[in-house]
Amino acid sequence: AQSVTQLGSHVSVSEGALVLLRCNYSSSVPPYLFWYVQYPNQGLQLLLKYTSAATLVKGINGFEAEFKKSETSFHLTKPSAHMSDAAEYFCAVTQNRDDKIIFGKGTRLHILP
């Protein structure tokens, strides 16, 4: 079964600093990968998804992720953090055979003023 691992349950960055949230996947076939964001007391919303058309994927709110097959990674980045980016971020993979979506344990991003 496919799975994703997120390194770091909490990450703190200063406002204006680079955001880097790590995600590694395990898959023997090309994976369908996603990043979702959850703001307090809300459901999840899609940040971006890997489509295989390009290894660098741009999402909403200035976030992007790079698919690196050699490293089995799909890390999420943003050049300059904003206070409004404080949220929990989930990496996810869809199983090809049945569309089940498997989530990582999440990384809570804290933005320091």
Partner 1 sequence: DVKVTQSSRYLVKRTGEKVFLECVQDMDHENMFWYRQDPGLGLRLIYFSYDVKMKEKGDIPEGYSVSREKKERFSLILESASTNQTSMYLCASSSIGRGRTNTEAFFGQGTRLTVV
- List contacts with partner 1 (CB under 8 A): 9, 29, 32-34, 36, 41-46, 49-51, 90, 94, 96-106
Single-letter amino acid, residue 8: G
Least distance (Å) from partner 1 to the CB of residue 98?
7
Closer by beta carbon to partner 1, 41 or else 113: 41
Buried b (16+ CB within 10 A) or exposed e, 23-41: bbbebeeebbbbbbbeeee
Least distance (Å) from partner 1 to the CB of residue 87?
14
Q: In the numeric block, which tokens belong to residue 15?
A: 């406002």
Least distance (Å) from partner 1 to the CB of residue 113?
25
**Taking a C-beta distance cutoff of 8 angstroms, is the pair 80, 92 a contact?**
no
Closer by beta carbon to partner 1, 32 or else 63: 32
